[in-house]
Amino acid sequence: MLYVAVGLVTFASGLINVFEPIYFFENGFPLWQIFYYFFIRMFSFVVFAFALLPLMRRMTDKRMMLLGIPPMIMHFLLLGYVTSASFLFYAVASLCSLSLLLFNVGYHMNFSHVTDEKHIGREVGMKYVAGAVAQFSAPLLGGILIAALGFRWVFAIASAILFVSVIPLYFFPQNKPSSQIRARDIISFIKNKSLRPYNISAIGYAAETMAGGIVWPLFIFLAVSGGTEDLGGIASLGAFAGAIVMYVVGMLSDQGKRRRMIAVGSVLFAGMWLLRLITGGTLAITINNTVSHILYSAIIVSWWSQFYKLAHAVADPMLFIMSREVLYNVVRIFVLPLFMLLAYLLPQQTFFYTIFVLAAGFSLLFIFANHQHRKDLDGAFIAAAQKE
């Protein structure tokens, strides 16, 4: 039932996510202001992570997931009116960050509890396959619906699906996190030297997802002539191709090939970002996007397998998960202003090419995860989780 719930949430989000920067662009927002919207999201996430910590440590993982759905519904419903009132720009971004905080932390906690450590790679692969199968048709359908009905109707449809996604959440076990987690423990996990290699790879992940999730869809939308339908079709094809390789990569990860997948995949994926400097036309963009999804799937399944292995290794999985979520968004708080500045100063085409080069560099940071070993973790993790 966990996969069903996540599949519904993924499908609903898939109708919208790739088109969210397009929505702002079509409503006259300059590129720099689109990045500012996402900056507000990431900044709000970090604020909520620390402000709501006393409440979150009293909740179960399932309750976090349940409470994460209503803010996302409100986010989608209000998104259609963001151009009519300036305060909604900030409210919508904050609602989205609140939803992501609660749902993501709850989900990672639950998944880390139910995974079999000997088969983490396969189970992570299955998790991503379930999400990808639910999502691969969503961008195409979302693009068609936006062209036919407009953004507001699609926002409403996604909200209705999210409402239904609450039902499966009542049918799987829940787990209670540690009640000892504190803000300074989260910070100490981020700063701990024994996690430095994985932290560096996390910086690459956090930064590259901003380029891949915001800049690349905008580039496709402007480069192809078919509008949201073409963008949706290209995104769906890439998601479908990625889903095919995910389960296989998960099994290979369990067989000791995880580090090779990360190393080879990162180099090739960075190469695909650089190829975008000379990629033009719908066919070439579609091929690049599809191959990139395949390579990214190989990297991310292996990378997240290591994430859950580390979560199993520490005394308090929630403390580890919270520290990762905070780290990702702190990185983005610094990366997005750079994107804003470049978008403001550079001609549009030069801006896109500059981001492609930066994204290639960010992608190579995944390789640092190969230098992280559980045996290198020091006793600070246990001490931080068991204090008081």
Q: What is the pLDDT of residues 152-161, one digit of tens each?
A: 888 898 889 8
Residue-range domains of the chain with CATH: 2-169+182-386 (1.20.1250.20)
Give the Å distances, CA to CA, from 23 to 28, 75, 235. 9, 14, 16
Query: What pLDDT digit, counting tens, does each position of 71-120 carry?
Result: 999 999 899 888 877 889 999 999 999 999 998 888 888 766 655 555 45
For residue 379, count other CB atoms closer than 10 A to its CB. 9
Q: Which residues lie closer than 8 Å to 211 by C-beta, 6 or more apart?
A: 273, 355, 356, 358, 359, 362
For residue 185, count other CB atoms closer than 10 A to its CB. 22
Candidate from 106-120, 130-144, 159-173, 332-346 with smallest mean pLDDT = 106-120
Question: Does the pLDDT at position 189 exceed 90?
Answer: no
- Cα–Cα distance for residue pair 110/365, rounded to 1 Å: 28
Reported as half-sphere exposure (CB side, CA atoms, 13 A), residue 50 has a value of: 13
| Residue 70: band (very low, low, confident or very high) from pLDDT cuts 50, 70, 90 | very high
- Cα–Cα distance for residue pair 96/385, rounded to 1 Å: 29
The pTM (predicted TM-score) of the whole model is 0.87
For residues 113 and 355, the model is more confident at: 355
Question: Does the pLDDT at position 255 exceed 70?
Answer: no
